[in-house]
Amino acid sequence: MKISYGAGLFILFIASQCVGGDKGPAPLDVVNMRMNAYNEHNIEAFLATYSDKIEIFTFPNKSLGKGKDHLRKIFEPMFKQGMVQVTLHSQINKDGYVVNHETVDDDGRETEYISIYEVRKGLIQSVVFVRD
């Protein structure tokens, strides 16, 4: 089977777009995929939205942890219980940042957050939580 040079380049272009190219999916889409996976208690889909080197902070810069293994230790037990849900109140996105106003309900205990997600190359690189 022969493929012309132009057709070959087109196929390579389409393939690069399907795997995210340099940019990946839009930051808002990534954060919303994360929110959906959270509410579905799907740990693998949830972790797939994060960079391997994810950094989590409480505002302004108190580190809560780094890496997907850290996230798995926190969220996997919560997801297995199936009691946690997040409600999105509002969302703002600008360039590689998405700011959410969220409420997390953990078996009737509600916590309100402002969450700032930094997304690069289709993955969440850092999250800063503003909460009481």
CATH class of 23-130: alpha beta
Mean pLDDT of the chain: 87
Q: Which two tokens stand for residue 103?
A: 């409420």
**112 Cβ neighbours under 8 A, 6+ residues apart:** 101, 102, 103, 131, 132
pLDDT for the residue numbered 4: 40
42-82 pLDDT, tens digit each: 999 999 999 999 999 999 999 999 999 999 999 999 999 99
How far is Cα 31 from Cα 23, in angstroms, rounded to an integer?
Answer: 15
| pLDDT of 22 | 55
Tell me the pLDDT band of 131, cut-offs 50, 70 and 90: confident
User: So what's the pLDDT on residue 87?
Assistant: 97
pTM for the model stands at 0.81
* DSSP letter string, 13-57: HHHHHHTTTTT-S-HHHHHHHHHHHHHHT-HHHHHTTEEEEEEEE
